[in-house]
Each structure stands twice: as C-alpha cells, then as structure tokens.
Amino acid sequence: MSLSLFIFFCVAVLFLTLLVWLLRDPGEDALTERGLDSPEEFGQRHATYFPQVRRAMAREDFTFLALRGSAALTRRVRRERQKIAVVYLTCLRDDFAKLWRLARVIARMSPRVGIAQEFTRLRLGLTFYLRYELIRVKFVVGIAPAPDLSSLSDMVSKLAIRLETAMSELGERAALSADLASTLHRRGVDAP
C-alpha cells in the first residue's frame, strides 16, 4: 500500500469514528437555548471565593505552624491546602468554560459571524486549556504564586459581569423576536 493510499484509508477510518462521535447526543456538553434565559447557570462564580483560597495559601500560617507545631503537621496542612488550590483552579476553569460557551451562544445568535474572530477565540480557548493543564500539573507538585491567581480570578469575574449584561440583553431581544414570530404565526404569516 502506497503512502497516499494509506492516508486515504486513515482519513476514511478517522471520518467514520468522528461521525459516530458527532452523531452522538452531546448530553451535558450541549448548551441549549435554555442558556439564554437561565442566568443562574452563570451566577455561581468560583472566582469570588478567591479571598478565602488566598487566606488558605498565606505564608504566615505555615510559618506559624512551623514555629508552634510539628514538621509533620505543617506538611499535612500544606498538602491539604494544595489540594484546595487544585480544586479552586479546576473551578476557575469551569467558570472559564461557561463563559467561553456563552461567547459561542452570542456568535450563534448573531446573523453575521466573523471567521477570523471565531478562529482567534477557538485558538485562545485551546491555548488556555493547554496551559491550564500544564499549570494544574505544576500545582500538584508545588504552589503557584497567589498574586497571579488573584488577577486570574479578577479577569474571569470581569468577563462574567460583561457577558451577563450582554446575555440579558440578548435574552430580552430573543424573547421579543419569539413573541413577534408567534404573533405572525398566529396571523398565518410566514416569518422569514
């Protein structure tokens, strides 16, 4: 089998596998149109818990424990708090994922979509996930600096607020257009 025939074979097998995956029900991954009128989905932002996490990561606690307690206790507390940091980072990623999905809803509901903008966002999202995974692995073995985490949280929060405003506006307009469509439908007029 020549190289090109081998490529054709692999592409066909890959397409068949992809087809099965793509035809599958997206389940929980799906962002249904409910998302437009359910702001509570975006209400719980883990980024808001950063002060507590920062407090848990404070150096002073460990210094205090090292002075007053045993080395074993300090290690145990540090390990437990590392776990908290990892969980927090995971929650931050979830916040990011929700916002990213929200951005896709905005694109979906728009009559015109910019290919460059969408591609840039896809690339940025993928880069974020790649970096997040690398940092998460680092977190498991050590602790990332708290100030950087703080700005990361701030950024997710600000983005969430801006997007929520846009989404409520979008929701109002969608409701308005649905009302209009149903009125036209009742009158027997075909909406474009």
User: Segment 28-57, which members bind other proteins (CB under 8 A)?
Assistant: 29-33, 36
Can residue 177 be called a binding residue for other proteins (CB under 8 A)? yes
If you count them, how many residues does the chain have?
192
Helix axis angle, 71-108 to 59-68, nearest 10°? 160
Among 19, 47, 90, 98, binds other proteins (CB under 8 A): 19
Helix (H) or strand (E) holding 23: helix 3-23
| Residue among 15, 52, 58, 90 that touches other proteins (CB under 8 A) | 15
Residue of the chain from 38, 52, 90, 151 that contacts other proteins (CB under 8 A) = 151
Residue found under tokens 């089998």 = 1
Site for other proteins contains 101 (CB under 8 A): yes
Name the minimum Å distance from CB 70 to other proteins.
Answer: 26
If binding is defined by CB under 8 A, does position 85 make contact with other proteins? no
The C-alpha atoms of residue 129 and residue 100 are separated, in whole angstroms, by 11
